[in-house]
């Protein structure tokens, strides 16, 4: 049996609104971290051809200079467009119960205004900000 040469791709793009004010802090190693949660709506027609809407929630994380730059500018309700990669975390709590979480490690973030397309907003390349730190 031959092995497949598959590329490792981990990319995500989301457009939504922050559901709460993000949390800004410095973690143990001194790195600035900004974390929040966004709501992303999806509209679709059901079997009866009636419009339905569902909302999915995603945790996002920005690091270093990008975290500092956006810490005062992101608030509950802010519309954003973010691209990045998914990262999973697993741990056990004090009762030895397993937990896991998937976060979006944001690479680019744009703050959108009402009616704007993702390319019209203010953009910061968070990866470049990380390299400058």
Q: Cα–Cα distances in Å, from 48 out to 4, 10, 33, 53, 117?
A: 42, 35, 45, 14, 31
Let me know if residue 33 belongs to a domain.
yes
In a domain, 1, yes or no: no
* Tens-digit pLDDT profile for residues 30-82: 999 999 999 999 999 999 999 999 999 999 999 999 999 999 999 999 999 99
Instruction: Decide if 5 is inside a domain.
Output: no
Burial class (CB in 10 A: 0-12, 13-18, 19+), 77: exposed
CA 17 to chain centroid, in Å, comes to 11
| Residue 51 domain-assigned (yes or no) | yes
Q: What is the CATH number of the domain that holds 110?
A: 2.40.50.140
Query: C-alpha angle with apex 88: 83 to 90, nearest 5 degrees?
Result: 160
From the list 116, 114, 113, 14, the residue with the least C-alpha distance to 61 is 14
- Asked if the structure places residue 6 within a domain, the reply is no
- Domain tally, the chain: 1
Residue 100 lies in a domain: yes
34: domain range? 12-132
For residue 7, being part of any structural domain is answered with: no
pTM (two decimals): 0.77
Q: Is residue 2 part of a domain?
A: no
């Amino acid at each position: 049996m031959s092995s497949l040469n598959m590329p490792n791709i981990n990319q995500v793009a989301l457009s939504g609104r922050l559901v709460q004010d993000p949390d800004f802090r410095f973690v143990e190693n001194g790195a600035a971290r900004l974390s929040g949660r966004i709501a992303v709506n999806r509209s679709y027609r059901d079997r009866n051809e009636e419009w339905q809407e569902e909302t999915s929630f995603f945790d996002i994380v920005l690091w270093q200079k990008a975290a500092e730059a956006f810490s005062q500018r992101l608030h509950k309700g802010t519309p954003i467009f973010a691209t990045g990669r998914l990262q999973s975390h697993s741990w056990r709590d004090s009762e030895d119960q397993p937990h896991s979480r998937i976060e979006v490690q944001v690479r680019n973030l744009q703050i959108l205004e009402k009616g704007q397309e993702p390319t019209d907003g203010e953009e910061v390349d968070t990866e470049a900000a990380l390299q400058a730190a």
